[in-house]
Structure 1
Amino acid sequence: MPAEVAPAEPTPALPGPVHVDTGYTESGVPTFDAVREKIETRLGTALGAVELAEDTPEGRSVSEQYEARQKAAADRLKQIRESMNRD
């Protein structure tokens, strides 16, 4: 017995031209949403790069050096303030 073939359903027609959001207006100016998306993408990339850099031995070394300089600067500022208060 041969297999029955179901009749094909007609495909619905698409309503008019399909609008594709390119991120630019017809005059070539970037849209606000496109600019915001670009900024958010760059920010995410930068934050990810910092996070990855901090996980390396070199990144930790730089971070430790920065913290040591900040502490030395705070100590020196404290010394200067104490010497000014004595006068």
Structure 2
Amino acid sequence: MDEHQQERDVVDGEVVDDTSTTALVVPAPSLPDPDYDESGVPGFDFVRDKIESRYTTSLGSTELAGLGTENTAEALDKKIADREQAGKDRLAEIRRSMLGE
């Protein structure tokens, strides 16, 4: 590059002092959480909502596990045993028919 080319590439700029803008920033006052009072004690509505949420979650997980009121573990075990016995009985019937009995 020649000296004349370098002079054309130079851009003049102005240095700006940014300390004046930082002085204008005012921090927002911290507001207390609406679910708690000033001393940090949770409100009645907050506690009730939390308990109801946990209760419905437990009901839902029980329902998803198939252990609701009509589907206890004992009832499911009995259904499985009955199904296995019915399968064994049907298999014995097929074998008897194949043997010509």
Report which of the two structures shows the higher radius of gyration computed on alpha carbons. 2
Note whether the superposition's TM-score is higher than 0.5.
no
- TM-score interval w.r.t. the shorter chain? 0.3 to 0.5
Q: Which has the higher contact order (CA 8 A, sep 6+)?
A: 1
**TM-score using structure 1 length:** 0.41
**TM-score using structure 2 length:** 0.36
